[in-house]
Structure 1
């Protein structure tokens, strides 16, 4: 694969192997969740009276989300975005492991895509909890992989010089990489607390 380095962008000391592996894992999980939701949507269209395989209760279900306006935010089912979008992290991760080195423009565009995905997921979380009053299982799988993927890519473009930041900020982003699991768990905890306060999730299972 041809090198696409930007000579003005500092060369990373080491290949971001862990980032590459995570992108491939997250991409595969996210793609499978999108595929599963797409198949559920096809089943609904074929038989509107059929229950989705991920409908477990009034609270935990996919149907309400798939059939809602929010479930087709851009005029087509949201899972189609996942089917196409999650291919990118898989390809990028595989390319990094193969030795590819990407330049500033590439990383900024990739980070912009992950930022869009993160913002869209945050919007869907708000809609699911506060408007639809449901927790969609496959949607939650998407949340789980999107959030840390966004943090990882953001911190990487901060530390590798793609963003024009002072050296101190780059070093701070590099150190924060080791705290990424905690950042993700903290985000999950916030979502869980909000869902509990709004939907009283524990009462459903107790």
Structure 2
């Protein structure tokens, strides 16, 4: 079973997946290089260490930075390629089966949940704001919302047609949804870390 075949090619959605994937991959690559630098010399200072509050080093060297036994950025190096591949395929006219969209959505949801957990650890436990991590947050939020809405509008998630139509209209609001989500993160960080005073 495939998703709605009458749906026009989702060009804007595909382009965003490519952009987000590239930006996310660049952030993951930068963090991977910083982690390798710190592994080679534990006394070194990461290039993204700006202050006690704004830094990558504490995050990379914490247990939260290697949840699965290897540096988290390696997940980004592999995971962010998926949106790029899907985006390019969509621009080329590919149509995916429902099971593919559900697996893709599950992967994006897992990434979003992991990022939310990392945000909580960064703000409430480590007390830091990692610059490259924040770049990842900035592309993960809109990607999650865009994929979730897309799955609804093409019927990959079984919903009535009126819900699909509403989701199609909702896609235009994804940027505002993402900004709202990130604003909540910024507010929480401000209340707990008073980060504005650091700039």
Same fold, TM-score > 0.5, yes or no: yes
Asked if 1:131 is matched to 2:131, the reply is no
2:98 corresponds to:
104
Q: Deviations over 1:99-134 (max 9, x none)?
A: 111110110000000000000000000000000000
Taking structure 1 as reference, are residues 12 and 153 closer, same or farther at Cα in structure 2, changes over 3 Å only?
A: farther
* Matched pairs, number: 199
Q: Which residue of 2 aligns with 1:204?
A: 198
When residues 73 and 12 of structure 1 are mapped into structure 2, their CA distance, relative to the original with a 3 A threshold, is: farther
Q: What are the ranges of 5 or more consecutive residues in structure 2 without an aligned counterpart?
A: none
Normalising by structure 1, report the TM-score: 0.95
CA distance, structure 1, for counterparts of residue 74 and residue 6 of structure 2: 34
Change in 2 beyond 3 A, CA 1:12/1:73: farther
1:38 correspondence with 2:32: yes
After TM superposition, list the pairs within 5 Å mapping 1:1-206 onto structure 2: 6=1, 9-205=3-199
The answer on whether the counterparts of 2:7 and 2:154 sit within 8 Å (CA) in structure 1 is: no
In 2, Cα distance between equivalents of 1:120 and 1:203: 28
- State how far apart, in whole Å, the 1-side matches of 2:84 and 2:4 are: 24
Runs of 4+ aligned structure 1 residues displaced above 4 Å come to: none
Shift of 1:171: 1.2
Q: TM-score, normalised by structure 2?
A: 0.98
**In 1, distance between residues paired with 2:197 and 2:172?**
36
Q: Please, which runs of 5 or more residues in structure 1 have no aligned partner?
A: 1-5
Kept in 2, the 8 Å contact 1:12–1:160? The answer is no
Q: How large is the Cα RMSD of the aligned pairs?
A: 0.8
Q: Compute the displacement of 1:13 (Å).
A: 2.5
1:27 and 1:90 in contact (8 A); partners too:
yes
